[in-house]
Structure 1
Amino acid sequence: MTTTSLITFLLILTLSLSTLPIPSFSQLCNPQDKQALLQIKNQLGNPTQLASWNPSTDCCNTTWQGVSCDTDTKTYRINDLSLSNLNLPKLYPIPPSLGNLPFLEILDISNILNLVGPIPLAITNLTKLRYLYITQTNISGSIPEFISRIQTLVTIDFSYNKLSGELPSSLSLLPNLVGITLNDNSFSGPIPESYGSFSNLFTSITLERNQLSGNIPATLAKLNLAFVDLSSNRLEGDASVFFGSEKNTQKIILAKNKLAFDLGKVELSSNLNTLDIRNNYVYGKLPEGLTALKYLHKLNVSYNNLCGEIPQGGNMQRFDVYSYQHNKCLCGSPLPSCKT
């Protein structure tokens, strides 16, 4: 074959090859992870927001909405999945195929109104899961005891759902748990005494706007909470367990309950910036220590049974009459002067 003929042959061969379809391979995404994602998409009715989950593309190429792979260790297993703002064509439960993503560390399911039913047992297969967010859905039922099997959990957020029943005492068995957020559901019954056994990592509990009742367990005094919000429930008794000068507490929100304790006897964290105990049966005087709080920017003790003169100084001058109104016999600025 002459040189000219060889060149011609190679050109024809190149042109022929260029017209052939080029197969697409998922060179990074683990095949089992990819199959699980496609099953999840199917189990949610193939919502349009997941159109980027194309089986002919690589799920680790950053184009699959809400999907992140572990690039640090170069394993490229899916470790972060965000399913949010999905318009499901009808009512669907949480996809059981989520349990087929064994390397998942973060699961965020949020703002899906057509998501219903209970929290599935399959979630216990996620033995590396650290952050679990299921919020603003219509899932229902109780928080299952099997959640405590996921020993790696750091944060649980089940806010704004239709969950009900009593709070599971077994959550205190989670050794790495830092905080729980369960507000805006229909939980009832007492706060479990076992919650006083959370590890020293535990710093945040949010249970507002539920139907919790009963006395606050004395065991909670063991906790060093940075943030506590139990407002808008039916809780009774002594909430002084959340106070203490040795604690790092920044926010205490206990409004709209039936709590009754002597506020004048509590000691305050120097880091306290928010104290809201309005609409309870709290009595006694306001602590003099309020004037020493450098970060205090929100205070509301209205609608209680407090008495005595309002301490003056520090940041106290920033609070108006609405912070103190409707108490038994509080007096002094900004309320009327105390009678001599």
Structure 2
Amino acid sequence: MYFPSCTLLLFLILTTQHFIPSHSENCNPDDKKALLQIKQQFGNPTKLSSWDPTTDCCNSTWLGVDCDNFTPTYRVIDLDLSDLDLPKPVSIPPSITNLSSLSLLFLTRIPNLVGPIPQSISKLNNLRYLSITQTNISGEIPEILSQIKTLVTITLSNNKLTGPLPATLSTIPSLAGIAFEGNQLTGTIPESYGSFPKLFTGLLLSRNRLSGKIPASLGKLNLADVWLSQNAFEGDASMFFKSNISTLTILLAKNSFSFDIGKVGLSKDLNALDLRNNKIYGVLPEGLSNLRFLHKLNVSYNNLCGQIPQLRFDETCYAHNKCLCGSPLPACKI
């Protein structure tokens, strides 16, 4: 049988292509190498058994690994490792910082994760969301985090972190919130925190050992969530109360704050206000009764006086004040 040369070439391509096995995979080889090193440095936990070196790390079967499937590079961009059953206490694997395209890093509920946050984390210069929570990591929050200019949120809650709040975090142009509650942090809130970006909305620092006065500069922020409970703060915190922004939660319980609650503004979107165990004085604002989303209120153990606004909260929410009166407490004397 005779084929013209061009036809013969096409025939050979079409017939042989079917029988040539494909050994290609989407996973970037450097990323795959880093992931396998992470698995080894973690002690080869059983939950990472899906990290099989013979398979493609971007085929959606590797636990907690997501790749960028919208570009030809197929780089690992998300690493979400929760509830890892580490066989023994280990530090954060250094190979994590070799995942250069990482945008999200979650290390949560890993009791055997110990040691400090490595300085090399600054190599992750595409990181947007960092969450290391419910572990036993310790040491200080590294100032070097401020070198990651892409960060949007930093969540380091419920660990054993110590030392001061890094003053340089306010230089991160895209930062929208920090959550450091449930640690052993000490010192004051840096004055520089009043210079957080305009989009910064979350300051979550409850259950630490922080102290001192709140910098007045924080009044420039438009915070949606303020969590400062169970520290040793003192003085004025009225700068967090504004009627012209959307504040959702203000949790200031168990400090030594002292200011006139009757002179503050109230956000119409406020849904939780916890001021118990402080030295706050004045009359509760009548505007509280107009907050239709308010589902949590506790002002007990303060120095408040006067008529309680019409609200649906029981007497424990108002108990142990100087002279609050009216339902659900005894009626005010005329």
**What TM-score do the two structures reach when normalised by structure 1?**
0.91
For residues 57 and 192 of structure 1, the distance between their equivalents in structure 2, rounded to whole angstroms, comes to 48
Is 1:324–2:301 an aligned residue pair? Answer: no
Is 1:234–2:228 an aligned residue pair? Answer: no
1:26–1:115 distance in 2 versus 1, CA, 3 Å: farther
What secondary structure is seen at the aligned counterpart in 2 of 1:64? Answer: coil
1:7 matched residue in structure 2: none
> Residues 93-145 of structure 1: CA distance to partner in whole angstroms, max 9, x if unpaired?
10111111111000000111111111112211111100000011111000011
> Residues 57-95 of structure 1: CA distance to partner in whole angstroms, max 9, x if unpaired?
110111111111001224210000012211112121101
1:145–1:276 distance in 2 versus 1, CA, 3 Å: same
Letter in 1 for 2:204: T
Pairwise CA distance, 1:320: 1.1
Letter in 2 for 1:126: L
> Residues 139-192 of structure 1: CA distance to partner in whole angstroms, max 9, x if unpaired?
100001100000000010000100000101111111101111101100011111
Is 1:34–2:38 an aligned residue pair? Answer: no
Within a 5 Å distance, the mapping from 1:54-73 to structure 2 comes to 54-73=52-71
The answer (yes or no) to whether the contact 1:25–1:58 under 8 Å persists in 2 is no
For residues 80 and 230 of structure 1, the distance between their equivalents in structure 2, rounded to whole angstroms, comes to 30
What secondary structure is seen at the aligned counterpart in 2 of 1:92? Answer: coil
For residues 64 and 279 of structure 1, the distance between their equivalents in structure 2, rounded to whole angstroms, comes to 48
Query: Cα RMSD between the aligned structures?
Result: 1.4
> Residues 263-304 of structure 1: CA distance to partner in whole angstroms, max 9, x if unpaired?
011011111111110010000110121122121121111110
Amino-acid identity (%): 64
The answer (yes or no) to whether the contact 1:60–1:68 under 8 Å persists in 2 is yes
The answer (yes or no) to whether the contact 1:108–1:134 under 8 Å persists in 2 is yes
Within a 5 Å distance, the mapping from 1:123-142 to structure 2 comes to 123-142=121-140
The answer (yes or no) to whether the contact 1:25–1:56 under 8 Å persists in 2 is no
| Structure 1 runs (4+) greater than 4 angstroms displaced | none
For residues 71 and 225 of structure 2, the distance between their equivalents in structure 1, rounded to whole angstroms, comes to 34
The answer (yes or no) to whether the contact 1:98–1:122 under 8 Å persists in 2 is no
**May I ask how many residue pairs the two structures share in their alignment?**
316
Within a 5 Å distance, the mapping from 1:1-16 to structure 2 comes to none
The answer (yes or no) to whether the contact 1:80–1:107 under 8 Å persists in 2 is yes
Contiguous gaps of at least 5 residues in structure 1: 1-17
1:338–1:80 distance in 2 versus 1, CA, 3 Å: same
Contiguous gaps of at least 5 residues in structure 2: 1-18
Within a 5 Å distance, the mapping from 1:133-282 to structure 2 comes to 133-282=131-280
Letter in 1 for 2:325: C
For residues 69 and 175 of structure 2, the distance between their equivalents in structure 1, rounded to whole angstroms, comes to 26
For residues 210 and 22 of structure 2, the distance between their equivalents in structure 1, rounded to whole angstroms, comes to 55
> Residues 4-42 of structure 1: CA distance to partner in whole angstroms, max 9, x if unpaired?
xxxxxxxxxxxxxx9xxx988451000000000011111
1:190–1:330 distance in 2 versus 1, CA, 3 Å: same
For residues 119 and 164 of structure 2, the distance between their equivalents in structure 1, rounded to whole angstroms, comes to 18
